[in-house]
Structure 1
Amino acid sequence: MTPDAIDDVTSFDDLGLRPELLRALGALGYEEPTPIQREAIPLLLGGRDLLGQAATGTGKTAAFALPILQRMPEGGRGEEPLALVLVPTRELAVQVSQAIHRYGRELGTRVLPIYGGQPIGRQLRELQRGVDVVVATPGRALDHIGRKTLRLDSLEMVVLDEADEMLDMGFAEDIEAILQDTPTQRQTVLFSATMPPRIDAIARSHLRDPERVQIEREPAAPGEEPLIRQSAYVVPRAHKPAALGRVLDVEAPDATIVFCRTREEVDSLTETMNGRGYRAEALHGGMGQEQRDRVMSRLRNGTADLLVATDVAARGLDIEHLTHVVNYNVPSAPESYVHRVGRVGRAGREGVAITLAEPREHRMLKTIERVTKNRITVEKVPTVADLRARRLELTRAALEESILEDDLEHFRVVVDTLADEFDVMEIAMAAVKLAHEAAGGAADDQEIPDVPLRAEREGRPRRDQPRDDRRPRTPTRGMTRIFIGAGRSSGIRPQDLVGAIANESQLSGRDIGAIEIADRFSLVEVPDHATNEVISALRQSTIKGKKPTIRRERFEPR
């Protein structure tokens, strides 16, 4: 298919897929191919090797799964697989296997995931019966090859999925050994989110004149663009467990992954967070597969709400209700930060990425900002007063929901009896107090020390703190500063202002300039051309439930 013909592809029908696959895609609700599918599927159907750069969420699984299924014979299949898909983790092996099974249901395709930690007996039985597609982690695939239970003589296609992660996890030698054992005339497909030199080396050694396809994550539809709030807290090492608890208490997430550097740190922090009343689970490489399965089951069914994990152990996980990602330490590489943050904000949902940085790690934060071109707002750790206010707010919300939704009539006799002796307001306040304490409302009394950044120690204000109100600085060239009549005393935070502007105007978070928050007002820089639009949009909306004064700042040069 020529480039012009690829541009004309608007449906799966245009790709020339067999009817059984088209029916399966229709039943799954797939209406049109994604960019990676439009470009990769015709090349693979034409027999070309492929080197693809595509991130999770771009539709790459179907991009290689459908061509695999397209070549499945109508009948008379043998015992040996026609395709082998190598993936970095057990979780991804299961996901890819399930996807291929769904697409190939009408074809009766026999798909088998094989990975370490699972009893090998079942794998041996299924391989002996015969399979069409094997989805495997490299270590377990090599184990079966050594046992002669996985024979690759009939292999027509090999796929390396998330190749960069497999190399990061130390599978380079295993991959080389597996590829050496496959037929020389096989078709080879390599997908990777990044393209370090090691990936190019594998491509030169094992792919034949491959076509290169590079696809960025497909942008969300208008109105569905995910808002990932990225913030950081500078905290001394000794206070990091308390700071994490304080931040999560205020955020009240549905489900969170906290990334740590070592197994020891994972175990220690998990114990600490359980002591604070969280339902925390640990996940690291020192755990067996049965333990990992139990942990993921608890997280997915809501029995646990906090997963403390190392990077390697958490790779390949897809937790649908995940709302928060926390870096317990600043990642050593911007790529790690990007991978972690990408776990939230999928499918149009909002997400939060939080980093706890020690003072010496502040420089690395700036490096990540520069490389990713995303602003990471440095905030103050919530105070005891902030935590108390947040817990009272949650109690109020719970009471409001009960008033609106619950049948309270059978409690009236209690109120009537007490009303003979006490004022109704006193009865209500006592009931609120009991509800607040029952919900864990006892406040943490330990204040966490604020760590001034180097700029503050040298007398320069931090970006998220107000300057001297009497000496406003000149706006950045090309930007106009907007005055918002609400500030710190109203609970306004930088992310509140960024969210309000991004949600109500055509600007994204990256377009917004410096933010200064004083006690009673805030100043936000926006591009000159968008000033009127932003002012008009904000005047018709609310910030933290209020409609503050919105106008251009009356700046007078000094």
Structure 2
Amino acid sequence: MDEQVESAAGFAGLGLRAELLRALTNLGYEEPTPIQQAAIPSLVSGRDLVGQAATGTGKTAAFALPVLQTFTEGKRDAGPAALILVPTRELAEQVSQAVHRYGRDLGVRVLPVYGGQPIGRQLQALQRGVDVVVGTPGRVLDHIERKTLRLGDVRTVVLDEADEMLDMGFAEDIEAILDETPTERQTVLFSATMPPRIDSIARRHLRDPERITMGRAVATPGEVPLVRQSAYIVARAHKSAALGRILDVEAPTSAIVFCRTREEVDSVTETLNGRGYRAEALHGGMSQDQRDRVMGRLRSGSTELLVATDVAARGLDVDQLTHVINFNVPVAPEAYVHRIGRVGRAGREGCAITLAEPREQRMLKAIERLTGQRITLEKLPTVTDLRARRLELTRAALQASLETDDLERFRVVLDSLTDEFDVENVALAAVKLLHEAAGGDTDEDEIPTPAPVSTSRGGQNRDNRPGAGGRDRRPSSRPLDSGVTRLFFGIGRRAGVRPQDLVGAITGETGLSAREIGAIQITDRFALVEVPEKATDMVIAAMQRSTIRGRRPTVRRERFVR
């Protein structure tokens, strides 16, 4: 074994071939993570596998390395030998890049396949031949229907972030895609959470799978957990002010702020930029080029805050994140798990902060039950706290300057001033100038403490409970509320359409949350769905490019017959 391979001895013990070990060494990998240690031997031996693993545990290498282990040098089949399904185009790009890096010495041909990219480029690559396809279910199914992607030679199928794909309404697409692959394939399923529907897929499509569960490292008693979780109870009207104040006190190096809607993303981004932060928006209304530029600025450090919807941020993997901030409590507790999985990596402490309205406190309890971890309720920083924090930042800036050796050239200024003024007063004046240049003392008003909300049954908003977005919601006989439009979908019960299919398709493609979708009526041949008036054109455009249960229906405003 050569020197390069020896330095990856931790991976060598997992039975990986020399070309992969060299690639891992060149990439700086030394020891496998727990999930890689547990999953790679089983996958290399050919077993199916179900893995529960949060973002940031190293699962991409856990399934990518065994996939590459089976590739032979020289001429290979034109069709892919491996198919990796992921929920978003961002994750498709990231996984594709990882597979390419690991398989560089094997000459592996990898193709990311997703919407928002010119399909002609994908067609050309498929015609030339590829070894691994990494794609979103909708675009993969489009290629299958065009007969430009044939899966008859596939040996391994990976479902990555399976729960996310189901949440986005891809269940039927996944079933249709799996039906196109050989029955004797190896199937791998990874998911951050394991609701019953994930287990149902595993029972139908996997053969005697190995099951592993790998969460984040649990702190031993007395240790500080890697992800500090806290929440602030804030009235809706004061959320933006509270967010700015929390960021001032926390001073994150790099953070994601999650919002529910693209309108909220734009509003929060504008507020933060007005407060002096370098904030960028990321939502479904942006082109792929715009999204790529935003992510490039975040990774390079030129942007410190990313404000995003769940859909736009799915699959994002940014190592330097220190904070995840929920501008609202996630509707589903599982979404909270995905969000906080982006911080606290590689032994660095991360912070997850949630802004909750008084009526959302019970949703925090649901998250605590799911995660088994306590979310500490904190008091909002006062104006006094904020002023103290800004003085501390001024002190830290001065200390950093004193520890450098580049001060002597300013001595002439100090000497000329101390001829006339006391040296202590000169120092205080310099501190004042630095403090004011950094923003100075705040003149903000105190944020009022919200009034408690009654927990009686009459005061509960049942539509806010986790999972409410997927239930069968019948329209009432009342006229449409102002600000709401009813859309016609040319697909109905005969095609097997259910309310959750419509909700999943709309939320997955537009960035709207389930609670923003109103009443749903499904007939044999069509469906009617209420959506916010201001989002109507965006929803129609997105749905006309999408498939529901493998079909692309007509979508338009409902035409009323009087």
TM-score bucket of the superposed structures, by smaller chain? 0.7 to 0.9
Distance 1:266 1:361 in 2: 20
Distance 2:39 2:147 in 1: 33
Distance 1:227 1:14 in 2: 28
Distance 2:196 2:365 in 1: 26
Q: Are the aligned partners of 1:225 and 1:348 in contact in 2 as well (CA < 8 Å)?
A: no
- More deviation in 210-219 or 255-264? 210-219
Q: CA deviation at 1:164?
A: 0.8
Task: Find the counterpart in structure 2 of residue 485 from structure 1.
Answer: none
Task: Find the counterpart in structure 1 of residue 275 from structure 2.
Answer: 276
SS at match of 1:346: coil
Task: Find the counterpart in structure 1 of residue 359 from structure 2.
Answer: 360
Residue type of the partner of 1:343? R
Q: CA deviation at 1:62?
A: 2.5
Q: Are the aligned partners of 2:158 and 2:187 in contact in 1 as well (CA < 8 Å)?
A: yes
Q: CA deviation at 1:63?
A: 2.6
Task: Find the counterpart in structure 1 of residue 317 from structure 2.
Answer: 318
1:65-464 counterparts in 2 under 5 A? 65-218=64-217, 226-451=225-450, 453=452
Q: Are the aligned partners of 1:266 and 1:283 in contact in 2 as well (CA < 8 Å)?
A: yes
Larger Rg: 1
SS at match of 2:138: helix
Q: CA deviation at 1:287?
A: 1.9
Distance 1:173 1:152 in 2: 17
Residues 1:23 and 2:22 aligned together: yes
Distance 1:187 1:397 in 2: 55
The change in CA–CA distance for 1:37 and 1:201 in structure 2 (over 3 A counts) is same
SS at match of 1:233: strand
Q: Are the aligned partners of 1:219 and 1:225 in contact in 2 as well (CA < 8 Å)?
A: no
TM-score, normalising length from structure 1? 0.74
Residue type of the partner of 1:66? L
Q: Are the aligned partners of 1:226 and 1:346 in contact in 2 as well (CA < 8 Å)?
A: no
SS at match of 2:403: helix
Q: Which has the higher contact order (CA 8 A, sep 6+)?
A: 2
- More deviation in 443-452 or 308-317? 443-452
Q: CA deviation at 1:265?
A: 1.2
1:510-529 counterparts in 2 under 5 A? none
The change in CA–CA distance for 1:22 and 1:427 in structure 2 (over 3 A counts) is closer
Q: Deviations over 1:289-308 (max 9, x none)?
A: 11211111121112211111
SS at match of 1:91: helix
Distance 1:87 1:142 in 2: 13
Q: What is the aligned length?
A: 446
Q: Deviations over 1:8-47 (max 9, x none)?
A: xx95444443332233334444445444334433433343
Q: Are the aligned partners of 1:224 and 1:348 in contact in 2 as well (CA < 8 Å)?
A: no
Q: Deviations over 1:506-530 (max 9, x none)?
A: xxxxxxxxxxxxxxxxxxxxxxxxx
Task: Find the counterpart in structure 2 of residue 471 from structure 1.
Answer: none
The change in CA–CA distance for 1:260 and 1:42 in structure 2 (over 3 A counts) is same
Residue type of the partner of 1:358? E
Distance 2:350 2:12 in 1: 35
Distance 2:319 2:12 in 1: 30
The change in CA–CA distance for 1:76 and 1:363 in structure 2 (over 3 A counts) is closer
Q: Are the aligned partners of 1:58 and 1:218 in contact in 2 as well (CA < 8 Å)?
A: no
Q: Are the aligned partners of 2:54 and 2:341 in contact in 1 as well (CA < 8 Å)?
A: no
In structure 2, the gaps of 5 or more residues are 1-8, 455-562
Q: Are the aligned partners of 2:219 and 2:225 in contact in 1 as well (CA < 8 Å)?
A: yes
The change in CA–CA distance for 1:300 and 1:152 in structure 2 (over 3 A counts) is same
Q: CA deviation at 1:174?
A: 1.8
Distance 2:25 2:325 in 1: 38
Distance 1:61 1:283 in 2: 24
Residue type of the partner of 1:162? E
The change in CA–CA distance for 1:323 and 1:45 in structure 2 (over 3 A counts) is closer
Distance 2:133 2:231 in 1: 42
RMSD: 2.5
Q: Are the aligned partners of 2:56 and 2:342 in contact in 1 as well (CA < 8 Å)?
A: no
Q: Are the aligned partners of 1:220 and 1:348 in contact in 2 as well (CA < 8 Å)?
A: no
The change in CA–CA distance for 1:15 and 1:436 in structure 2 (over 3 A counts) is closer
SS at match of 1:397: helix
Q: CA deviation at 1:221?
A: 10
Residue type of the partner of 1:447? E
In structure 1, the gaps of 5 or more residues are 1-9, 456-558
Residue type of the partner of 2:82? A
- More deviation in 195-204 or 217-226? 217-226
The change in CA–CA distance for 1:226 and 1:209 in structure 2 (over 3 A counts) is same
The change in CA–CA distance for 1:381 and 1:224 in structure 2 (over 3 A counts) is closer
Task: Find the counterpart in structure 1 of residue 49 from structure 2.
Answer: 50
Distance 1:123 1:388 in 2: 55
TM-score, normalising length from structure 2? 0.74
